[in-house]
Amino acid sequence: MKTLRDIGEDALIDRLVGLVPRDPNPAAGPGDDCAVIDRDPKSPTLLLLKTDALVEHIHFLPDTPPRAVGWKAAARVVSDFAAMGGRPEYFLVTLALSPETAVAWAEDLYRGIGDCLEKFGGVLAGGESSSVPPGSAAVISIAATGSVRREQVVLRSTAKPGDALLVTGRLGGSLQSKHLNFTPRLSETNWLVSEYKPTAMMDISDGLAKDLPRLAGASGCGFVIDRTALPLTPGSTPAQALGDGEDFEILCAIEPARVPGLLAAWHAVFPDLPLTKIGELVQSGAGESLTGGWDHFAGH
């Protein structure tokens, strides 16, 4: 009997989404950073839907400050809205906690969620709570709605061979607390889609080695990268930049002729945040392959 460990996360998703009713004409469905719903063809905006979960011992440790856990739980969702060129709006929070959890822990968790919403927008609309059996891990799940202007939505699947690949910020080092205090690139991507709209975009949550092949595959492309160009978090190696994950930086593709203008404008607007060209997309079947990154069911 095959197990989830045998097939991995991506193959599991491919299997499961075919077992339930789906929108026959989605603007973007399972497989992108957010689901995109076109409720009204006359509306200037599209609806974005996102859900994400943190699990104790997977995404945080028992001694992690709860306010940092709350920030991370909300910021991961904000990062996905950023990756679509949109903005967050309404949040639902589900907590599954041990009855022995300190009230102060839960309160600080919500303070961290509130810190993120105050900084990036969005409001709490509701949620749910449940107990877990003794010894079970705590789970914090956040679902949210957002919106994006119709002409500014960016998918993973719309790049083409020859497009340049760029990343924001620096990669690697998530285990040195970076994964708890990252900044979602919301203002940066909102500027980007209005000034130099990418041909494809996603955030880097499972590591560049895992997420770049996803973007390339969704667009029907291969890829090549320059490992010497990878922007490294101080103290990190190229291998860690490829495989650590939880960078929550933005990976995007853009037509090569637009790259010089984009880089010049970016560095003028965001002088403290690098934007680095790391490679390009090529024809499907060409290019290179990458291994590494995080797969929940493979455990690495």
Shared domain check, 8 and 147? yes
Shared domain check, 245 and 219? yes
Shared domain check, 140 and 107? yes
Shared domain check, 214 and 133? no
Shared domain check, 128 and 65? yes
φ, ψ for residue 218 (rounded to 5)? Answer: -60, -30
Q: Of 97, 247, 237, whose CA–CA distance to 182 is shortest?
A: 247
Domain tally for the chain? 2
Report yes or no on 292 lying in a domain.
no
Report yes or no on 229 lying in a domain.
yes
Shared domain check, 146 and 184? no
Report yes or no on 110 lying in a domain.
yes
Per the listing, tokens 């205090």 go with 181
CA distance 94 to 8: 25
φ/ψ region of 99 (left if φ > 0, alpha if ψ in -120 to 50, else beta) reads alpha
Calculate the dihedral angle through the C-alpha atoms of 95, 298, 64, 125, rounding to the nearest 10 degrees.
-30
CATH classification at residue 194: 3.90.650.10
Shared domain check, 193 and 225? yes
Shared domain check, 148 and 8? yes
For residue 24, the model assigns a pLDDT of 67
Report yes or no on 295 lying in a domain.
no
Domain boundary among 124, 152, 180: 152
Residues 6+ apart with CB under 8 A from 269: 191
CA distance 225 to 204: 15
Per the listing, tokens 């995007």 go with 252
Q: Of 250, 50, 39, 49, whose CA–CA distance to 150 is shortest?
A: 39
Domain boundary among 121, 152, 183: 152
CATH classification at residue 49: 3.30.1330.10
For residue 292, the model assigns a pLDDT of 82
Domain boundary among 152, 173, 190: 152
Shared domain check, 235 and 192? yes
Q: Of 207, 168, 204, whose CA–CA distance to 290 is shortest?
A: 207
For residue 9, the model assigns a pLDDT of 75
Report yes or no on 159 lying in a domain.
no
For residue 7, the model assigns a pLDDT of 76
Report yes or no on 300 lying in a domain.
no
Residues 6+ apart with CB under 8 A from 245: 174, 204, 205, 206, 207, 210, 293, 294
Measured at the CA of 79, the angle between CA 232 and CA 258, to 5 degrees, comes to 65
Per the listing, tokens 């914090």 go with 140
CA distance 218 to 85: 18
Shared domain check, 175 and 127? no
SS3 183: coil
Shared domain check, 217 and 251? yes
Lookup: tokens for 81: 């809205």
Measured at the CA of 279, the angle between CA 292 and CA 246, to 5 degrees, comes to 40
CB 163 within 8 A of CB 280: yes
CA distance 111 to 237: 34
Mean pLDDT per 10-residue run, the chain (300 residues)? 79 77 66 88 95 96 97 98 98 97 98 98 97 96 98 96 98 87 97 98 96 96 97 94 95 98 98 98 95 65
Report yes or no on 299 lying in a domain.
no
Lookup: tokens for 113: 């969620």
Report yes or no on 254 lying in a domain.
yes
SS3 25: coil
Q: Of 293, 278, 281, whose CA–CA distance to 242 is shortest?
A: 293
Range of the domain at 55: 4-152
For residue 298, the model assigns a pLDDT of 63
CA distance 263 to 283: 25
Shared domain check, 169 and 38? no
